[in-house]
Amino acid sequence: MKNISSKRVLITGGSGFLGSHLCERLLDEGHEVLCVDNFYTGRRANIAHLLNRPYLEVLRHDICFPLYVEVDEIYNLACPASPIHYQFDPVQTTKTSVHGSINMLGLAKRVKAKILQASTSEVYGDPTIHPQPETYWGNVNPIGLRSCYDEGKRCAETLFFDYHRQHKLKIKVARIFNTYGPRMHPNDGRVVSNFIMQALKGEELTVYGDGKQTRSFCYVDDMIDGLIKLMNSPDDFTGPVNLGNPNEFSIHKLALKVIEMTDSKANIVFKPLPFDDPTQRKPDISIAKKVLQWEPKIQLDEGLNKAIKYFRDML
Ligand code: NAD
Ligand code: UDP
Ligand code: UDP
């Protein structure tokens, strides 16, 4: 059903993990959705259940090339997000963040659309401040294996703020922290999908390093709420704003939890830590709480149960 205040919303990366949930939520809210994706890491299966919805349009397109469409809002999510995928073709990763952002900002400028950038906690690199507030400028290696992603996303933030200052664009920048849930790519090497798949298949869970490094995991539904609240926030609020769950877990503890929750007989095996792997990560979400009245509602056990069910059904 279309609602009376329906908007035309472009979602780049709309067939990916987060993008597919966002397409679904905005269609449910009665908006027209244009899902643009080059299917690099996204899958048609993620949006297959939406293809019969009359207000969804899907376009195969690489945002590194110009795009001329008429929309009211743009969520710029296109970019491979897992280390395996973004390091597979690092030049393309930087191009997607930089050329892709320029094209989407040019589009927003021409049609006067509001535009939101899916930035990342990786802009903080291996942080020396804990938890990370938005005012922290980060500790990022500019020439390492993660740099194509980290520096690409940092440059995209620069472009967003320059289009805002120079061309008065309405921008929103979300710094997304580790998010998990159904429709994560089962082979993208991210820790939650890896551990659940390994546990369900009875394979050894691969903990990198000593497993003492930490991450804070946000369930996808909470993240989608946060992104939509940010898009709908007053025009003078640009962010950057951290979105994530501040509950911090060590990777070793996560492995033990997944084994317990899946009733798996699998063991843990320790493997070398990837280069430049951040040691700690936890968002300071005071700004999101105050300005967006947002905070995550779904804690790790509940969210993991839903993710485990998804991967079990898939197997
Ligand atoms: P994902 O890989 O599932 O989705 C990315 C989507 O972008 C895919 O569908 C892919 O095919 C598409 N894409 C990639 N390059 C493209 C291009 N040049 N043109 C058009 N489409 C392209 O990843 P995700 O987890 O859904 O992440 C979505 C966004 O959120 C990304 O920008 C990512 O950097 C950001 N983010 C995600 C997380 C997380 O934990 N999931 C954390 C921080 C930031
Ligand atoms: N662009 C686009 N769609 C549009 C308008 C612009 O893809 O509807 C692209 C175009 O390729 C352009 C880029 O966005 O190079 C940046 O646009 P902008 O107007 O900021 O700068 P230009 O390069 O046109 O001076
Ligand atoms: N990790 C791990 N085993 C895996 C996959 C990842 O121990 O099978 C670790 C990884 O080294 C990192 C953390 O889990 O410390 C989160 O990794 P992920 O790739 O999910 O996200 P990111 O490093 O981008 O936060």
Q: What is the pLDDT of residues 83-122, one digit of tens each?
A: 999 999 999 999 999 999 999 999 999 999 999 999 999 9
Whether residue 178 contacts residue 244, with contact meaning beta carbons closer than 8 Å, is answered with: yes
The closest of 60, 71, 91, 89 to 10, measured between CA atoms, is 71
The pLDDT value recorded for residue 260 is: 97
Q: Please tell me whether residue 222 adopts helix, strand or coil conformation.
A: helix
Which atom of ligand 1 is nearest to 178's Cα? 40
Tell me which of 40, 149, 163, 180 is the catalytic residue.
Answer: 149
Quote the mean pLDDT of the chain.
Answer: 97
- Nearest ligand for residue 216 CA: 3
Identify which of 72, 103, 105 to mutate to test ligand 2's pocket (most ligand atoms within 8 A of the CB). 103
Joined together, the tokens standing for residue 90 give: 């690092």
Confidence check: pLDDT of 270 > 70: yes
- Model's pTM, two decimal places? 0.97
Quick one: average pLDDT of 166-186? 97
The torsion of the CA quartet 42, 257, 222, 182, rounded to 10 degrees, works out to: 30
81 lines ligand 1 (CB under 6 A): yes
Confidence check: pLDDT of 10 > 80: yes
> What's the gap in Å between 190 CA and the centre of ligand 1?
13
Residue 188: band (very low, low, confident or very high) from pLDDT cuts 50, 70, 90: confident
> What's the gap in Å between 299 CA and the centre of ligand 1?
23
Residue 2: band (very low, low, confident or very high) from pLDDT cuts 50, 70, 90: low
Spatial distance between the Cα atoms of 182 and 220, rounded to a whole number of angstroms: 8
149 is catalytic: yes
> What's the gap in Å between 108 CA and the centre of ligand 2?
9
Confidence check: pLDDT of 1 > 70: no
Please give the backbone phi and psi of residue 301, each rounded to the nearest 5 degrees, phi first: -65, -45
> What's the gap in Å between 274 CA and the centre of ligand 2?
38
Q: Which residues approach ligand 2 with their CB closer than 6 A?
A: 66-68, 102-103, 106-107, 109-110
Nearest CA residue ID for atom 2, ligand 1: 80
Confidence check: pLDDT of 50 > 90: yes
Nearest CA residue ID for atom 20, ligand 2: 106
Which atom of ligand 3 is nearest to 81's Cα? 24
Nearest CA residue ID for atom 6, ligand 2: 106
Spatial distance between the Cα atoms of 211 and 254, rounded to a whole number of angstroms: 9
Residue 4: band (very low, low, confident or very high) from pLDDT cuts 50, 70, 90: low
Tens of pLDDT along 137-168?
999 999 999 999 999 999 999 999 999 999 99
Secondary structure E strands in 202-274 = 205-208, 214-216, 218-219, 241-243, 248-250, 268-271
270 lines ligand 3 (CB under 6 A): no
Spatial distance between the Cα atoms of 29 and 17, rounded to a whole number of angstroms: 19
> What's the gap in Å between 184 CA and the centre of ligand 2?
32
Identify which of 124, 177, 215 to mutate to test ligand 3's pocket (most ligand atoms within 8 A of the CB). 215
